[in-house]
Amino acid sequence: MTTPNINFLRAAQQLESVAKLPPSLQSLVSEIIQQPQFKAYFSPAQVSALLAIEPDCELLLRHLLPLAQSYSFCPISKFKVGAVALADNGSIFLGANIEFAQQTLGQTVHAEQAVISNAWHHGATYLTHLAVTATPCGHCRQFINELEGAKKLRILLPEQDAITFPAFLPHSFGPDDLAVNDRLMNSKPNQIAYQTDEPQLVTAIENAKASYSPYSNSPSGIVISTKNSQYSGRYAENCAYNPSLSPLQSALIALHLAGEQFSEIKTAILVESKSAPVSQYQQSVQLLKTLVDIELLHYQY
């Protein structure tokens, strides 16, 4: 049996999602998303152009939810979730849930995690608005609570009034409870000493420097490459531990939102501390093996 081309299916779903937009937005959104460099986010200039048509930013984010939902990859649940975020840098980011067949459910990436990772990788330091097609689960609420400005974040759900995030997570447990001043998307670089001239390894080290692990002090980063491009991944830790996002999950989000398939991965390099209490290696090997037959190169500093 022939396996459906995921990119072809997504393109068809995106066309369907554009058709659901108000007619005034359809032409511009279609033009933007068909550009080869489009990687599931709208630049500040593009956002300004969209707001010139629909000046209500919260309504615009809601309009874009079906487009975000078209990125969903859910072979297990068949339940598509999309998320759209407005960030401090003026960009609008898309995200969707990503599931991995033949892996534990703990490897699943939630739409909220995907959109946060997308924003983080493209220079945003905090989010002002987050629209989601379904009410954020407890896992995601805990993950969101790690963000800079979480207490002011406005959550938008279909056919409901906007709600500030604390209403979703009363009596929360977060970084302040553990005397942590850094925040996800806005933390100090990790100090890592590792000398190399190999470009991909340099990128992986830079990702480890940018990763967020204030609870275990276990910075780690990864770079995965296809024939066409390479994708960075950073560890994103959580004070509750379980909602943490591995560097490989982070890189797979970037690859998926860029329109490539997991089977196109050619190389993968993971960097982490040999003395850290948390290692990403074994879990990353297991997940990678279900996606593609390559070796995960492992470097420790």
Question: Catalytic residue positions?
Answer: 112
Q: Which amino acid does the sequence have at 121?
A: H
Query: Sheet of 154-156: strands edge to edge?
Result: 41-42, 92-96, 82-87, 127-132, 154-156, 163-164
Contact (CB, 8 A) for 237 and 244: yes
Rounded (5°) CA angle 137-184-96: 45
What does residue 262 show for φ and ψ, rounded to 5 degrees? -60, -35
Beta strands 82-87 and 92-96, pairing class = antiparallel
Q: Return all residues near 80 (Cβ < 8 A) that are at least 6 apart.
A: 69, 72, 74, 96, 97, 133
Helix (H, G, I), strand (E, B) or coil at 23: helix
Q: How far apart are CA 117 and CA 211, in angstroms?
A: 11
- What sections of the chain are H helices per DSSP? 6-19, 23-33, 44-53, 57-63, 65-69, 111-121, 138-144, 199-210, 247-257, 281-291
β-strand partners of 300: 272
Angle between helices 281-291 and 247-257 (to 10 degrees): 30
